A = this chain, B = another copy of it.
Amino acid sequence: MDTQFPDAVVQAADTRIVFVVMDGVGGLPDPATGRTELETARTPHLDALATSSALGLHRPVAPGVTPGSGPGHLALFGYDPRRWQIGRGVLSALGVGFPLRPGDLAARLNLATLDEAGNVSDRRAGRPDDEEGRRVVELLASGVRAPDGMELHWRAEKEHRAVMILRGEGLSGALADTDPQATGVPPLGVAPADPGAERTARAVERILADAREVLRDERPANALLARGFALYAEYPSMRDRYGLRCLATARYPMYQGVARLLGMDVAPTPDTDAGAVDTLAGRYGDHDFHFLHFKYPDSRGEDGDFDAKVSAIEDLDGLVGRIVALEPDVLVVTGDHSTPARMRVHSWHPVPLLIASEWCRGGGAAFGERACLAGELGIIESRDIMALTLAHAGRLGKFGA
């Protein structure tokens, strides 16, 4: 059996790592200028760092493969996303702080509107506000019975988003989505993807039918669309694998969920990006590894707004200045994937990576896609970033005599 790296050579050290994820930071050039969002942005703090840092690019999953946020983040933290697959349901449940146990089945729900013919007329039930979403989810929690011998839990997430958790013996996560991803058609049945999932499929089918009964007189949220069915399996924690006491500071439940999955502590949700850096500064000494998640480059990329993504990156550059002032032993700045504004979606393009520490060859020109391509790290797999981060933090020992 091959040795597992970096786990096999982890050693203790009194060093601090700050790991900054600028979600979707990688991009594509504006045809008019030939420069990407990151290359266009005025980022004096990042560019100053780049001259003395190790630069490179990383591939989240495999060449050409576009990751979701879950796989993207797992890879960043050294969990090969081809091996460790988390369903959206589990991520959502963890994101709302539900104390999942191994074997629990979780699914992401949309509150939705069906017309009189039973076809989906709005996949998001008119985008209710959080309070209205919670009210509807409470109706479900009090009105839908759990299948015999099982526990059933409901949680509102945000707006039309909710999550359902089913707890029982021998559940399966091999269920297809009921969300048809389209309007004018009915929700799909709960289809088992393998024979072992039939009992679970019948239980979920009954729950969703009961839910429609409970919501019969509600408008616009009179039905549920489910997706991302997944069983929760316990992950080896970053504490156990790397010896790191980790703190995650993120403004969106999903990223808090990934962090919980890997055993990180999760800071109270900050109100602003600057507030996330306040949290970092305030709790700096309590943890070895600080994960900070910043969402806007991705959001603006998905909006297709090149200039807004540039601005979002420029705003974060200012925060980088504050982080540098804390003098972490290692500062990593990267993204979980690229979100080119021109594409309006996540993409497969390798993601800029900067590792700042005392132990870099350096000489980089700036923090941007082309400068990173010339960097000393080359193009690496995202799952190898964590080993490099630990090495730069003096937290990996020598392999062999």
Contacts and interface: CB of A to CB of B under 8 A. Distances in A.
A401 interface: yes
Interface residues of A, number: 67
A83 B5 CA distance: 12
A91 B401 contact: yes
A384 B88 contact: no
A81 interface: yes
A387 B6 contact: no
A387 B62 contact: yes
Contacts of A62: 5-6, 384, 387
A3 B380 CA distance: 19
Interface string A66-92: 111111000000000111011110010
Contacts of A388: 63-64, 348
A342 to B, nearest CB: 8
A353 B117 CA distance: 55
A228 interface: yes
A400 to B, nearest CB: 4
B362 A34 contact: yes
A390 interface: yes
A53 interface: no
Interface in A226-258: 228
A88 B387 contact: no
Nearest to A69: B401
Given A64-B390, A376-B350, A81 B28 contact: no
Interface string A1-24: 011011001000000000000000
Interface stretch (A129-137, A159-167, A278-286, A391-399): A391-399
Contacts of A400: 67-71, 81, 85-86
A186 to B, nearest CB: 24
B64 A384 contact: yes
Given A228-B401, A384-B64, A362 B29 contact: yes
B3 A85 contact: yes
Given A361-B349, A401-B228, A387 B66 contact: no
A334 interface: no
By DSSP majority rule, is chain A's interface helix, strand, loop, or mixed?
loop
A359 interface: yes
A345 B57 CA distance: 27
A201 interface: no
Interface in A367-398: 369-370, 373-374, 376-380, 384, 387-392, 396-398
A180 interface: no
A292 B58 CA distance: 32
A24 B107 CA distance: 52
A65 B399 contact: yes
Contact of A370 (B361, B392, B399): B361
A66 B347 contact: no
B361 A29 contact: yes
Which of A108, A373, A400 is most buried by chain B, counting CB atoms within 10 A of its CB?
A400
Interface of A: 2-3, 5-6, 9, 28-29, 34, 36, 57, 61-71, 81-83, 85-88, 91, 108, 228, 340, 342-343, 345-350, 359-363, 369-370, 373-374, 376-380, 384, 387-392, 396-401
4 closest A-B pairs by CB: A64-B387, A88-B401, A64-B391, A68-B400
23 contacts: A3-B82, A5-B61, A28-B361, A29-B362, A36-B361, A63-B377, A63-B384, A64-B384, A64-B388, A65-B396, A67-B400, A71-B399, A71-B400, A86-B401, A91-B401, A228-B401, A345-B398, A346-B398, A349-B361, A349-B376, A361-B369, A361-B370, A363-B370
